[in-house]
């Protein structure tokens, strides 16, 4: 870009899209690694200053989009209905989607875990039509009280909730709910990744703070999976390997 004239002061340039191009360029040629975005506004165009359109994400090389993260609900007021609109729109636009769900500590203590997860899934998937490509959809369970706190749900809690999520998906989507991958997120670290991945109905991980350090994230990706039955081992490994998602 040419320099500004001497009598002009161009102090700041406010970009309309995130610096995802640099991420894509840094990953070009890396097999099995894809670029995703933490947000996308559910409209192809319009006066939505500061938001990110699908065209921007395509230009940046993104193929995945995150929807429903609890911080967008708490900080920006995104409702379950709006999350559903974003999820359906992203799939319609050809992106793969990770729909995040999870309860607060107060909701868990009040015995509302089942109803909260049902509401988030029911509303989050409400806009999906009969021709939706469910192979491009994953669900991430992140207990809100474990995000960035250093606290992690117990193995039994994770196993129980992931089994519940599988049942809810099957109830909502029938046979389409059986193959949807369910990820766990919430203070995932190199020293607990292996144990979490060994649990039933845990198909992968959504990694936040631990992915800020390259070595930490690499150690999580390389976490050894326990030996399962010979026939299931390769399939289980590939399934989990595809779903190490960094949301940093």
List residues with catalytic annotation: 69, 142
CB neighbours of 146 closer than 8 A, spacing ≥ 6?
Answer: 152, 153, 186, 187
Rounded to whole angstroms, the Cα distance separating 182 from 205 reads 8
Rounded to whole angstroms, the Cα distance separating 162 from 184 reads 8
Edge to edge, what strands does the sheet with 244-246 contain?
Answer: 35-37, 62-67, 96-101, 137-141, 181-185, 204-207, 244-246
Could you write out the three-class secondary structure of 60-112?
A: CCEEEEEECCHHHHHHHCCCHHHHHHHHHHHHHCCCEEEEEECCCHHHHHCCC
**Number of DSSP helices (H) and strands (E) in the chain, helices first:** 10, 7
């Amino acid at each position: 870009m040419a320099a500004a004239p001497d009598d002009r002061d161009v102090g700041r340039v406010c970009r309309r899209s995130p610096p995802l191009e640099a991420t894509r360029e840094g990953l070009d040629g890396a097999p099995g690694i894809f670029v995703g975005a933490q947000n996308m506004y559910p409209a192809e165009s319009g006066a939505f200053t500061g938001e990110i359109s699908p065209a921007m994400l395509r230009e940046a090389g993104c193929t995945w989009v995150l929807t429903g993260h609890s911080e967008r609900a708490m900080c920006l007021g995104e409702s379950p209905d709006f999350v559903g609109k974003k999820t359906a729109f992203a799939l319609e636009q050809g992106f793969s989607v990770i729909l995040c769900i999870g309860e607060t500590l107060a909701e868990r203590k009040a015995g509302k875990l089942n109803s909260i997860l049902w509401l988030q899934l029911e509303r989050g998937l409400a806009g999906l039509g009969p021709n939706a490509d469910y192979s491009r959809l994953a669900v991430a369970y992140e207990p809100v009280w474990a995000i960035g706190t250093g606290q992690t749900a117990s193995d039994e809690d994770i196993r129980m909730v992931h089994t519940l999520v599988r049942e809810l998906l099957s109830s909502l989507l029938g046979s389409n709910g059986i193959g949807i991958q369910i990820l766990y997120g919430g203070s995932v670290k190199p020293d607990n990744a292996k144990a979490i991945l060994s649990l039933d109905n845990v198909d992968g991980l959504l990694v936040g703070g631990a992915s800020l350090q390259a070595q930490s994230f690499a150690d999580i990706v390389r976490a050894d999976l326990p030996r399962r039955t010979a026939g299931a081992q390769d399939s289980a490994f590939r399934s989990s390997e595809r779903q190490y998602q960094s949301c940093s």
